[in-house]
Structure 1
Amino acid sequence: MCGRFTLSATPEDVRALLEYIEQPNFPSRYNIAPTQPVATVRQEHGGRHFALVRWGLVPPWVKDPASFSLLINARSETAVEKPSFRGAMRHHRCLVPASGFYEWRQTPDGKQPYFISPADGGVMVMAGIWDTWSDPSGGDIDTGAVLTTEANQMVGRIHHRMPVILMQEDFDAWLDTGNVMARHARALLRPAPEGYLKSVPVSRRVNSVANDEASLLEQADTDQELEPAQKTGRAKRTKSSGKKASDDQMDLF
């Protein structure tokens, strides 16, 4: 699964890779969490466009988002068929740039967070979906989720699931909802190649969304050796509290 990630690359580096039309300026983020705005790229009107969405998909048919569980992840194996995701898989696929993501491994001393990022230090791009929810008064909000898949061997030592990471040659096909049907796009949703990612244990300070600084990525001391992680049940949905988030939590920029 993917429940926290970072985007510390410069706006110029992100735009150079994803080639969207806009030129947004944004600061480094080191602990992006559910309900916060996340950067996405979508294909519209003949070009790629940068857009912010709230992390936690709310399908258009939901009557009350406050009582609906946040869908931060969508299982790639079943997203085409699931009512919550199939519309977005057909019509609203997007790219989610990141510098890395966090995953937690169960240890005798509790859950140890790891930061997992491209081995070359570059920008990685997760497969995402988005949709628009409209309230009765006419207001709209775009929300999104990250696709997940079975972990590759490296990530599997920490957790049995991982976000789908798209290679650059697959960006066009994933975004092309007009010509690439959802069932064909699903073939792009596979574990990252071995050797593409690296992992380091980091401070449990990342557990608090209030912490969002570069020091979260500093390697932590741990004697735990990485063996294949045990599978657990399905990833939990995040329950929406219905409370208004703080200004800091909702401000990507």
Structure 2
Amino acid sequence: MCGRFTQQASWAEVVAFMQPIPLLAAEEAIEPAYNIAPSQPCWALRPGEDALEGARMRWGLLPGWAKEPRIAYSTFNARAETMAEKPAFRSAFRHRRCLVPASGYYEWKAEGKAKQPFYIHDEAAPILLFAALWEAPHPRFGELPSVSIVTREADGPVSALHHRVPLMLDPELGAQWCRGSADDAAGIAHAAPGPQLAWHPVDRRVGNVREQGPGLVKPVRSLL
């Protein structure tokens, strides 16, 4: 799963990372965020007429039929294996796919009574590109569009931290994810190679959603 992530890159850095895919940055600057949690706003990239476009969204998908806004606390992740069938996600999967540019994300590993957070990032690039689904603002509860990050089974060494990871794409596959058919997207979700990930233990303060700042991503001595 992905329950916390960071967005530290500027629009200029995101645009450069996305090359050769055209990207129209939002007018509002990206303010570095080191502890984005479900229900909080974040930045996403969605298809526009001629380019992907930066858009501010709230994390936790809120379908138009939702009767309570709290459903968003259970829809911040969509499983790649079931997103095409689940009522909360299937319409967005067919028609509204997008990307979330992240600098990294957090995962917790427990051993006995100790629970250590780790910060996970791309070993060779400044940005991870999460596949995502989005919905228009809810007619009753939403001022912003809402977004869900797609996850899949983890493989390789990172599976020792958690059995699921975000579905992470390179820019060209990301553009195909956004603009291709639902069948194209399903194929990408099934077979896309992941980036080379690195991780390190970080301060347990990250477990508090009110905590912010670059100190949250700095390495610390592990409790495990």
TM-score by length of 2: 0.90
Kept in 2: contact 1:132–1:140 (CA 8 A):
no
After superposition, what is the alpha-carbon deviation per residue over 1:39-98, rounded to whole angstroms, capped at 9, x for unaligned?
001112232111011001011111232466441000001101111101001111001000
Q: In structure 1, what is the Cα distance between the partners aligned to 2:209 and 2:83?
A: 28
Choose 64-73 or 164-173, whichever is displaced more: 64-73
Gap regions ≥5 residues in structure 1 = 225-253
Q: In structure 1, what is the Cα distance between the partners aligned to 2:77 and 2:164?
A: 11
Gap regions ≥5 residues in structure 2 = none
The count of aligned residue pairs is 220
User: CA RMSD, aligned part only?
Assistant: 2.1
Give the superposition deviation at 1:135.
Answer: 2.7
Q: Pairwise mapping of residues 75-114 of structure 1 onto structure 2 (< 5 A)?
A: 75-114=79-118
Hey, what does 2:176 align to over in structure 1? 173
Choose 3-12 or 206-215, whichever is displaced more: 3-12
Q: 1:129 aligns with which of 120, 129, 133?
A: 133
Q: Which amino acid aligns with 1:57?
A: L
Give the superposition deviation at 1:123.
Answer: 0.9
Choose 187-196 or 48-57, whichever is displaced more: 187-196
Larger radius of gyration: 1
After superposition, what is the alpha-carbon deviation per residue over 1:188-227, rounded to whole angstroms, capped at 9, x for unaligned?
1258757711010111010001111111112121263xxx
Give the superposition deviation at 1:175.
Answer: 1.0
Hey, what does 1:25 align to over in structure 2? 29
Kept in 1: contact 2:202–2:218 (CA 8 A):
yes
Q: In structure 1, what is the Cα distance between the partners aligned to 2:218 and 2:155?
A: 24
After superposition, what is the alpha-carbon deviation per residue over 1:131-190, rounded to whole angstroms, capped at 9, x for unaligned?
0243359x75411100000012121010000000011220221111xxx22133112125
Q: Which amino acid aligns with 1:73?
A: N
Kept in 2: contact 1:150–1:191 (CA 8 A):
no
Tell me: CA distance 1:12–1:41, structure 2 relative to 1, closer, same or farther (3 Å).
same
Secondary structure of 1:189's counterpart equals: helix
Kept in 2: contact 1:153–1:194 (CA 8 A):
no
1:71 aligns with 2:75: yes
Structure ranking higher in helix proportion: 2
Tell me: CA distance 1:220–1:109, structure 2 relative to 1, closer, same or farther (3 Å).
farther
Tell me: CA distance 1:166–1:68, structure 2 relative to 1, closer, same or farther (3 Å).
closer
TM-score by length of 1: 0.80
Give the superposition deviation at 1:13.
Answer: 0.4
Secondary structure of 2:136's counterpart equals: strand
Hey, what does 2:3 align to over in structure 1? 3
